[in-house]
Amino acid sequence: MRYFIFSFFIGLGNILPLIANDSLPFRTGCGAGCHWKHQQIGEPIDHSNGWRKAWFKSKQYYFDHKSSKDVQGNPWRQRLLDLDIPEDEISDGISEGWVYAHCNRKKVAFGNPSDSNVFDAFDKNGNLIKGSVNRSTGTYYQRLCPYSD
């Protein structure tokens, strides 16, 4: 039995790298009881100027205390409707778009870098930026530049 368990974990160790895939969803926070699930759609596309891009789909979830479950959608929807914000101006909690990374410059852009703000993937101490208050740029960078240091 001891050898079976040992063999099982050895086999599992050989299989896990095959399962690990950059297109698997990952989460970032958006406040208490709130998170985003991000899914990379397709392989990254390299550009001659050093940027690479991938399409990401993101869905917002919030914890519903009545059902004790995560619910997909905009947690502030009802509050915004109560404030007379037109329904067609309220996000449904789903967004899609290109995310760009420059692996040599260690930068990330949410949209075309020439048309949008470009953000650092690392802080001044060289740590990957994973905090959602900073848009989790390091987490996207890791997905798009997995072999960069």
| DSSP strand pairing (94-102 vs 118-120) | unpaired
Model pLDDT, residue 27: 67
Is pLDDT above 60 for 15?
Answer: no
Look up the pTM and report it. Answer: 0.71
The answer to whether residue 6 sits within a structural domain is no
The answer to whether residue 16 sits within a structural domain is no
* Tally of domains in the chain: 1
Q: Are 41 and 56 in contact (CB under 8 A)?
A: yes
The answer to whether residue 9 sits within a structural domain is no
Q: What is the pLDDT of residues 36-50, one digit of tens each?
A: 788 899 899 999 999
How sure is the predictor about 134, in pLDDT bands with cuts at 50, 70 and 90?
Answer: low
What torsion do the CA atoms of 42, 54, 72, 19 make, to the nearest 10 degrees?
50
The answer to whether residue 5 sits within a structural domain is no
What average pLDDT is seen over the chain?
A: 79
Would you state the structure tokens that stand for residue 127, as one six-digit string?
A: 């740590």
Q: What is the pLDDT of residues 46-103, one digit of tens each?
A: 999 999 999 999 888 888 888 888 888 877 788 889 999 998 888 888 889 999 999 9
Q: Which residue has the higher pLDDT, 5 or 16?
A: 5
DSSP 46-115: E-TTSEEEEEEEEEEEEEETTTTEEEES-TTHHHHHHTT--GGGS--SEEEEEEEEETTTTEEEES-TTT
Domain that holds residue 52: 22-144
The answer to whether residue 131 sits within a structural domain is yes
Amino acid making up residue 46: D
